């Protein structure tokens, strides 16, 4: 089975074609500047096939982008499949499923209506995800099954004590103001992978997953289920990030509006796009640049790194307390996978848990390597696991699609992982 995984943005579209059963990646790439001047990247994973790197392709809409992807995949010289018929289904990353979706679902007209209803919860992301789905339907037709896999779904197992805010209850009832959490497919993948590396079932473990990139979140996973996570109603909450402030005293917002003459929109833009590593350091949102400046004695760069490390340690400590212990901690995503200095600084502050870091192994574990970085006698295992969100999407898509008989029914009602 081959699954085409799509991650559609407002002017971009990432894609992978892979086999969910073997995990073998056939091709991946990126459509950029959709609606502008169109740049197309195609990276076949089969020896002898030609890579296309940011070549000019007219893509006035996402439909042309999808067509460019399909043309490349079936190209007689550089394609990785013989025809469109070898694409069994399409799996879409969808950022926000609200409370309507706690697992992947087959995309139907009813699902599309529900996705539209979730737009107020993710106004920057869900419209683009919907556009990607519609583009696939327009180009590939309705006979190719499509599945939505939600960033928020993994966190729908959180208990009310973790997802509710202490606001008047009617704001939850009327407006669904609550913690949703994000990076769910990443946290799901690395927590399951950590269990496999420990030789145990996910149900037997208490894990803390640290997805650290330009956007970052920490998740407590107890018995294979998310029980708390650092991001909240939006991806703004939690630890310091590349350009996001993370959690702040909410009274700062009206204070800035009153004393700085800022509008609500200006404050929101500042918190999301001008804060975090960039705001504190005054240099960059890229942790590599900030770390380099800190090493050269730049005070604000060093302060930004210390705030980040301090925040991560607080979440790990809090989640260990909330779960009544922790068996393993996992680092993933760009910063988590490739910044051994950060990992060491975080773990050094967790010795009270009986955690011991292997400094040499920690330094070696970069560039996509997977492995254990704690010592043999550490009471808490620590792993670096490169995330693979696309594989999770492909596997969830496979589980749904292989149980369906599309040839014998016209009524494709909502099908989810629990139903099958």
Which stretches of the chain drop beneath a pLDDT of 50? 406-409, 412-414, 420
Integer Cα distance of 100 and 118 in angstroms: 9
Dmax of the chain from CA atoms?
A: 68
> Under DSSP, is residue 216 helix (H, G, I), strand (E, B) or coil?
coil
328-332 vs 39-44, strand pairing mode = unpaired
- Which part of the chain has CATH 3.30.420.40? 3-150+390-401, 197-387
Residues serving a catalytic function are: 151
> For 40-56, what is each residue's pLDDT tens digit?
999 999 999 999 998 99
Contact between residue 241 and residue 305 where contact means Cβ atoms under 8 Å apart: no
**Is the pTM here over 0.85, yes or no?**
yes
Which of 259-295 are b and which e, b meaning 16 or more Cβ less than 10 Å from the residue's Cβ?
A: eeebeeeebeebbbeebbbbbbbebbbbbeebbebbe
> Under DSSP, is residue 37 helix (H, G, I), strand (E, B) or coil?
coil
- pLDDT at position 10 is 80
- pLDDT at position 125 is 83
> For 6-41, what is each residue's pLDDT tens digit?
999 888 899 999 999 999 999 999 999 998 999 999
How many CA atoms are closer than 13 Å to the CA of 132, on its beta-carbon side? 29
CATH topology for 3-150+390-401 is: Nucleotidyltransferase; domain 5 (3.30.420)
First CA to last CA distance, the chain: 18
Sequence-ordered list of residues with C-beta below 8 angstroms from that of 14, at least 6 positions apart, any chain: 6, 7, 8, 28, 29, 30, 31
CATH of domain 197-387: 3.30.420.40
Contact between residue 194 and residue 219 where contact means Cβ atoms under 8 Å apart: no
Secondary structure of 128-187 in HEC code, one letter for each residue:
HHHHHHHHHHHHHCCCCCEEEEECCHHHHHCCHHHHCCCCCCHHHHHHCCCCCCCCHHHH
- pLDDT at position 51 is 93
- pLDDT at position 408 is 44
- pLDDT at position 404 is 76
CB-count burial class (<10 Å; 0-12, 13-18, 19+) for 20? buried
């Amino acid at each position: 089975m081959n699954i085409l995984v799509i991650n559609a943005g407002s002017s971009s579209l990432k894609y992978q074609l892979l086999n969910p059963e073997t995990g073998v990646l056939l091709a991946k790439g990126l459509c950029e500047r959709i609606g502008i001047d169109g740049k197309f990247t195609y990276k076949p994973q089969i020896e002898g096939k030609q890579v296309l790197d940011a070549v000019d392709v007219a893509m006035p809409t996402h439909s042309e982008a999808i067509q460019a992807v399909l043309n490349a995949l079936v190209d007689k010289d550089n394609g990785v499949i013989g025809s469109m018929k070898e694409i069994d289904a399409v799996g879409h990353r969808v950022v926000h499923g609200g409370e309507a979706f706690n697992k992947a679902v087959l995309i139907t007209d009813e699902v599309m209506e529900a996705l539209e209803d979730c737009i107020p919860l993710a106004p920057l992301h869900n419209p683009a995800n919907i556009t990607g789905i519609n583009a696939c339907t327009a180009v590939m037709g309705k006979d190719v099954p499509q599945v939505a896999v939600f960033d928020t779904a993994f966190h729908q197992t959180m208990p009310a004590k973790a997802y509710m805010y202490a606001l008047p209850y009617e704001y939850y009832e009327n407006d669904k103001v609550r913690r949703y959490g994000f990076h769910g497919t990443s946290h799901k993948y690395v927590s399951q992978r950590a269990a496999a590396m420990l030789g145990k079932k996910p149900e037997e473990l208490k894990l803390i997953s640290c997805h650290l990139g330009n956007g970052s979140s920490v998740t407590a996973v107890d018995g294979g289920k998310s029980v708390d996570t650092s991001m909240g109603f939006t991806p703004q909450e939690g630890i310091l990030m590349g350009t996001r402030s993370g959690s702040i005293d909410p009274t700062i917002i009206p204070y800035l509006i009153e004393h700085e003459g800022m509008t609500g929109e200006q404050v929101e833009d500042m918190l999301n796009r001008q804060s975090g590593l960039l705001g504190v350091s005054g240099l960059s949102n890229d942790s590599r640049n900030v770390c380099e400046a800190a090493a050269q004695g730049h005070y604000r760069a060093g302060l930004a790194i210390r705030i980040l490390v301090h925040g991560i340690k607080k979440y790990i400590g809090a989640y260990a307390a909330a779960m009544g212990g922790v068996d393993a901690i996992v680092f993933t995503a760009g910063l988590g996978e490739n910044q051994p200095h950060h990992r060491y600084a975080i773990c050094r502050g967790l010795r009270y848990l009986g955690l011991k870091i292997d400094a040499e192994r920690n330094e070696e574990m970069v560039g996509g390597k997977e492995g254990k970085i704690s010592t043999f006698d550490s009471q808490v295992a620590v792993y670096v696991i490169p995330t693979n969100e696309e594989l999770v999407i492909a596997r969830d898509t496979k589980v749904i699609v292989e149980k369906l008989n599309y040839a014998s029914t016209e009524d494709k009602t909502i099908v989810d992982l629990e139903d099958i």
